[in-house]
Amino acid sequence: MNIIRIQASTMSIIAAAIAGIGMAACGGGDSAPQTFTQAPVACAELTGMTIPAASIGLPTTGAVVTNAQVVPPSGTGAVTVGEYCKVEGEINPVDQAAPKIKFQVGLPANWNKKALMYGGGGNNGTIPNIAGSYATNISTQPVPLGRGYAVFGSDSGHQGKNDGTIDPVRDASFAVNDEALRNFTGEALKKTRDVAGAIIKARYATTPEKVYFVGGSTGGREALLSISNWPQDFEGAIAVYPAWDSVALNLAVGRLGQEFAKPGAYVSEQKRDALYKAAINACDGLDGIADGVISNNAACNATFDPVTATIDGTTPLRCAGGADTGDNCLSDVQISARLVTRDGMFGAGTMALRALLLPLNQHCSWWALETWLLGILCLQ
Residue 115 lies in a domain: yes
How many angstroms separate the first and last alpha carbons of the chain? Answer: 93
Summarised one tens digit per residue, pLDDT across range 289-326 is: 999 888 998 898 888 999 999 999 999 999 999 999 99
Query: DSSP secondary structure string, 188-217?
Result: HHHHHHHHHHHHHHHHHSS--SEEEEEEET
Residue 57 lies in a domain: yes
Which whole number is the average pLDDT over 241-247? 80
Q: Last residue of a domain, which of 215, 244, 273?
A: 244
Residues 215 and 279 both lie in one domain: no
Residue 127 lies in a domain: yes
Kindly report the number of other CB atoms within 10 A of residue 292's CB atom.
11
What confidence tier does 55 reach under pLDDT thresholds 50, 70, 90?
Answer: very high
Which whole number is the average pLDDT over 110-114? 98
Residues 201 and 265 both lie in one domain: no
Report the CATH number at residue 158.
3.40.50
Residues 56 and 168 both lie in one domain: yes
Q: How many domains does the chain have?
A: 2
Residue 17 lies in a domain: no
Residues 144 and 228 both lie in one domain: yes
Q: How far apart are CA 186 and CA 211, in angstroms?
A: 18
Weakest mean pLDDT among 14-23, 28-37, 112-121, 244-253: 14-23
Residues 268 and 221 both lie in one domain: no
Residues 169 and 76 both lie in one domain: yes
| pLDDT score of 344 | 58
Summarised one tens digit per residue, pLDDT across range 75-95 is: 999 999 999 999 999 999 999
Residues 79 and 164 both lie in one domain: yes
Question: Strand 63-71 to strand 114-118: parallel, antiparallel, or no bridges (unpaired)?
Answer: unpaired
Domain that holds residue 86: 44-244
Burial of 315 (0-12, 13-18, 19+ CB in 10 A): middle
